[in-house]
């Protein structure tokens, strides 16, 4: 944490606080995060929830695994989901087991992924709780938990990246200090915090690894399975005992609060056979994912006319929470190429719309970025701000293509869009006593961050970015305390 502060701020902290207090503050790797539960599987029914899960059926062709996946191997009863692995031959394989995933039904970008479970053991068994990309193209891959059946007191957390044959990975084991109880005899909680810059792996709330290399930046879905045999776990032998059960009490996904624009670079196309053509963006008319032209990454948002009525529109939009008086920044880059240049009467616009709780527009700001006279093959940038008026509950960024009365051809591409609420820090007079900066402000700040009540003090979200408490609140507080700015 301290390396992100200005030198002046560091000096001020050390001057105001005792050496032991300062050391304890800066030794903390991360402040507690406030997570919001966004999805959960509690296994309360009598069968697998088809709105979230799909059981995989068939012989698995990878890793030299020896099982046939059967839907009947997955059961739900008494508040538990169970995958049962047996030595019953099926489909040309010697073993039967189960695999289920949320592909096409529940995908997530970043968050905390948790499972409480008791794992199968014995030689050749390979239970796993993991993530794959919604685009269904490997890699990347995050393995929240894997265990080799002959090592029931050790699990692994891993991150895979790179295209074959040069793909690579980082993996870290977590070892219990006892052989009994172990992960097969007791229930344990396996989790990871997948953040934009890192993946933190936990067992029973104990952080045991942080991976920072090539962190995935695309939506992923959940997989739970037990493989039988394979290059890594080895194969069943005379010591292997069947049946074996992977028993799950619950699976949960949480995310941090705070407004943020998702998929700002149009990197991920929407799910197949859905009306959502680009992940996280709502679309109407002829607005779609395209790799034919992009400023960065692999894709961009393409828009063009509907060729039906004069002045028809197509576009994308995203919403985020807002309140009256809040200032929003919007920016983006658009291009019309010479090989699909916008014709007469066509326009590409960017807008900020403010809406009330009924969805009615109560204010807006609009910028026309491209017309038929815009220079082709050139990315043109726009950036502007707008302030939310009274009764605002939602701010919306809108990218619009309007096809004029002549119904001319041509298209516009958008990339690298940004839409953020301005973050202005609170006053450094944290205890609001009119004296600042002083030791009492620092004491009040850390008391509130630790959960103490102080009616006159500022709140934990010092930088007003919607995420609290977090390291950056501490950094910004001491930077402002030392006379610096709020990043």
Residues 235-257 have pLDDT tens digits of 999 999 999 999 999 999 998 76
Residue 133 and residue 22 in one domain: no
Look at the block and give the residue holding tokens 């009256």. Answer: 324
Q: Is 329 a member of any domain?
A: yes
Burial of 100 (0-12, 13-18, 19+ CB in 10 A): buried
Angle between helices 7-16 and 439-449 (to 10 degrees): 90
CA distance 149 to 145: 13
Residue 236 and residue 304 in one domain: no
Q: Is 426 a member of any domain?
A: no
Residue 23 and residue 42 in one domain: no
Q: Is 273 a member of any domain?
A: no
DSSP secondary-structure letter at 468?
-
- What's the domain count of the chain? 3
Please state the pTM of the whole predicted model. 0.62
Of residues 373, 379, 309, 380, the one with CA closest to residue 347:
373
Residue 8 and residue 42 in one domain: no
Where among 421, 450, 472 does a domain terminate?
421
Residue 92 and residue 182 in one domain: yes
Note the pLDDT tens digit of each residue in 296-352. Answer: 888 999 999 999 999 999 999 998 888 888 889 999 999 999 999 999 999 999 999
Residue 160 and residue 100 in one domain: yes
CATH assignment at residue 129: 2.60.120.200
Domain residues for the domain of 336 are 282-421
Residue 23 and residue 142 in one domain: no
CA distance 30 to 313: 46
CATH assignment at residue 406: 2.60.120.260
- Residues of the chain falling short of pLDDT 50: 1-8, 10, 12-14, 16-32
Asked whether 29 and 209 are in contact (CB, 8 A), the reply is no
Cβ partners under 8 Å of residue 204, min gap 6: 188, 189
* Separation in Å, CA 130 to CA 175, 474, 485: 19, 33, 41
| pLDDT for res 455 | 65
| pLDDT for res 123 | 98
Residue 121 and residue 149 in one domain: yes
Residue 165 and residue 232 in one domain: yes
DSSP secondary-structure letter at 142?
E
Q: Is 14 a member of any domain?
A: yes
Where among 255, 272, 300 does a domain terminate?
255
Of residues 226, 147, 213, the one with CA closest to residue 182:
147
| pLDDT for res 163 | 78
Residue 342 and residue 477 in one domain: no
CA distance 219 to 137: 12
| pLDDT for res 354 | 96
| pLDDT for res 1 | 31
Q: What are phi and psi of 66, to 5 degrees?
A: -115, 10
Q: Is 263 a member of any domain?
A: no
Residue 245 and residue 357 in one domain: no
Residue 193 and residue 305 in one domain: no
């Amino acid at each position: 944490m301290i390396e992100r502060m200005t030198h002046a701020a560091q000096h001020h902290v050390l001057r105001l606080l005792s050496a032991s207090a300062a050391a304890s503050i800066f030794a903390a790797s991360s402040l507690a995060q406030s997570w919001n539960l966004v999805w959960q599987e509690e296994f309360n029914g009598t069968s697998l929830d088809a709105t979230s899960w799909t059981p995989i059926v068939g012989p698995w062709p990878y890793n030299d695994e020896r099982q046939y996946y059967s839907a009947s191997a997955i059961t739900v009863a008494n508040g538990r989901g169970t995958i049962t692995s047996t030595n019953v031959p099926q489909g040309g394989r010697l073993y039967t087991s189960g695999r289920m995933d949320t592909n096409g039904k529940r995908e997530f970008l970043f968050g905390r992924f948790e499972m409480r479970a008791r794992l199968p053991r014995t030689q050749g068994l390979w239970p796993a709780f993991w993530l794959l990309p919604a685009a269904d193209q490997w890699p990347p891959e995050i393995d929240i938990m894997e265990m080799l059946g002959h090592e029931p007191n050790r699990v692994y957390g891993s991150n895979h990246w790179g295209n074959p044959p040069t793909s690579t990975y980082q993996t870290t084991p977590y070892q219990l200090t006892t052989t009994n109880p172990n992960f097969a005899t007791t229930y344990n909680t396996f989790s990871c915090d997948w953040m934009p810059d890192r993946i933190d792996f936990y067992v029973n709330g104990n952080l045991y690894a942080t991976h920072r290399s090539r962190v995935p930046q695309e939506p992923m879905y959940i997989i739970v399975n037990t493989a039988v045999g394979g290059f890594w776990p080895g194969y069943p032998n005379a010591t292997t005992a069947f049946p074996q059960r992977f028993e799950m009490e619950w699976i949960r996904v949480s995310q941090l609060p705070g407004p943020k624009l998702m998929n700002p670079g149009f990197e991920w196309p929407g799910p197949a056979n859905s009306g959502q053509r680009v992940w996280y963006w709502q679309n109407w008319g002829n607005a779609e994912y395209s790799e034919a032209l992009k400023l960065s990454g692999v894709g961009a948002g393409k828009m063009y006319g509907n060729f039906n009525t004069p002045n028809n529109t197509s576009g994308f939009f995203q919403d985020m929470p807002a309140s009256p008086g809040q200032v929003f920044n919007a920016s983006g880059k658009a291009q019309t190429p010479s090989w699909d240049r916008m014709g007469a009467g066509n326009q590409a616009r960017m807008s900020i719309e403010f809406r009330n709780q009924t969805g009615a527009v109560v204010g807006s700001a609009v910028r026309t970025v491209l017309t038929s006279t815009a220079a082709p093959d050139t990315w043109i940038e726009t950036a502007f701000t707008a302030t939310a008026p009274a009764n605002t509950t939602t701010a919306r960024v809108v990218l619009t293509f309007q096809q004029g009365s002549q119904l001319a051809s041509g298209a516009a591409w958008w990339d690298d869009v940004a839409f953020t609420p301005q973050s202005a820090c609170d006053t450094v007079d944290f205890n609001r006593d009119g004296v600042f900066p002083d030791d009492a402000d620092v004491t009040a700040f850390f008391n509130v961050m630790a959960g103490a009540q102080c009616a006159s003090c500022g709140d934990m979200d010092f930088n007003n970015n919607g995420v609290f408490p977090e390291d950056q609140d501490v950094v910004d507080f001491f930077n402002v305390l030392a006379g610096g700015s709020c990043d």
